[in-house]
Structure 1
């Protein structure tokens, strides 16, 4: 009986010991748990890398938003400054003395004075040997003050040569710019083309640039001063 009991106990102990050995279910369960734990440990670094990458991407997106915000702020500042410049320029044009210069604001009046002065200059600076006296009389109706005196001196100086050498002068106004128009006073810049001939010889061309001061009397613009530029 004792020997049998010991044999049974040995078999029971061996069974218990064998139940936890290789190939048993308990041993396989512990191996599976160990593998899962190892897999989790290996996955942790990747999770850390993903988190780090996420943080880097977040910083880049944040930096991009800040850059765009800064660019928009700079653009807004430029637009504001440009608008202020336009308003300032408009204020200058409306304020004195710029507002008094009708050459900037009154197109009809500017066109009229430019046309009248252009016609007057073409008439008084165009002559023929036989028509010089008529030209001089016409000049008296459009010239006054210093301009009238200047013209008289010019005609007196060239009269003999015009008659003797049969000089013909033709003048055409090619461009007129009104510098200032204030009430009955105007200042203009005029460009002329002139062609002169002596007898039957070929004509000689020349260009001239004049600054004209004009004054309106009884509705008529008259030239007060002529300056060669």
Structure 2
């Protein structure tokens, strides 16, 4: 190997080492910058208190709006007025207008129970949940009862400190 080849290799090694050091410095600078910035947009991952609050609010709301007694429909209507908004309210009105027509003749009572409510995404003002809901129905007219299960994707929006359900999608 000639002296010129050895010098070229040394220079190439020095240039390569300098490039690697510069790359490492940029990588450390970027990593430090990322650590200093809050990149956690999904608070469900890190804020257990907020996650628990939205789970409780949505579960309670669903139980109230999906429980119905033909003898006294007012509590269900009041719950829908205060706990549903937007598309969820429109869907609910369509569903329950048909129910209200048939319920007195069947003497229908519905009882909802949330089995599981898991928060998929949570921000300061909105949440998306996966909910497993059971609804027991009892008809006094023929003494029949049944339980049906539903899996729902529920969207909630926080307004004035309270969570309102704005979307319900059966899965």
TM interval, shorter chain, is 0.7 to 0.9
Q: Which residue of 2 aligns with 1:224?
A: 166
Is 1:158 the counterpart of 2:99 in the alignment? yes
Query: What is the CA–CA distance in structure 2 between the aligned matches of 1:208 and 1:138, rounded to whole Å?
Result: 20
How far is 1:136 from its partner?
1.1
Query: What is the CA–CA distance in structure 2 between the aligned matches of 1:133 and 1:109, rounded to whole Å?
Result: 31
Look up the SS of the partner of 2:44 in the other structure.
Answer: helix
Look up the SS of the partner of 2:118 in the other structure.
Answer: strand
Q: Which residue of 1 aligns with 2:83?
A: 142
Q: What is the root-mean-square deviation in Å for CA atoms of aligned residues?
A: 1.9
Q: Which residue of 1 aligns with 2:49?
A: 108
* More strand, by proportion: 2
* More helix, by proportion: 1
Greater Rg by CA: 1
**Worse-superposed segment, 140-149 or 150-159:** 150-159
CA contact (8 A) 2:119 2:129 kept: yes
Q: Which residue of 2 aligns with 1:65?
A: none
Look up the SS of the partner of 1:122 in the other structure.
Answer: helix
How far is 1:192 from its partner?
0.8
TM-score (norm 1): 0.57
Query: What is the CA–CA distance in structure 2 between the aligned matches of 1:137 and 1:123, rounded to whole Å?
Result: 9
CA contact (8 A) 2:61 2:79 kept: no
Give structure 1 stretches of 5+ with no counterpart: 1-90
Query: What is the CA–CA distance in structure 1 between the aligned matches of 2:153 and 2:133, rounded to whole Å?
Result: 11
Q: Which runs of 4+ in 1 moved over 4 A?
A: none
Give structure 2 stretches of 5+ with no counterpart: 1-33
Give the aligned length.
137
Cα shift readout 1:132-164 (whole Å, capped 9, x = no counterpart) = 233112211000011111111111111111011
Is 1:215 the counterpart of 2:157 in the alignment? yes
Query: What is the CA–CA distance in structure 1 between the aligned matches of 2:75 and 2:134, rounded to whole Å?
Result: 22
RCO (CA 8 Å, sep 6+): is it higher in 1 or 2? Answer: 2
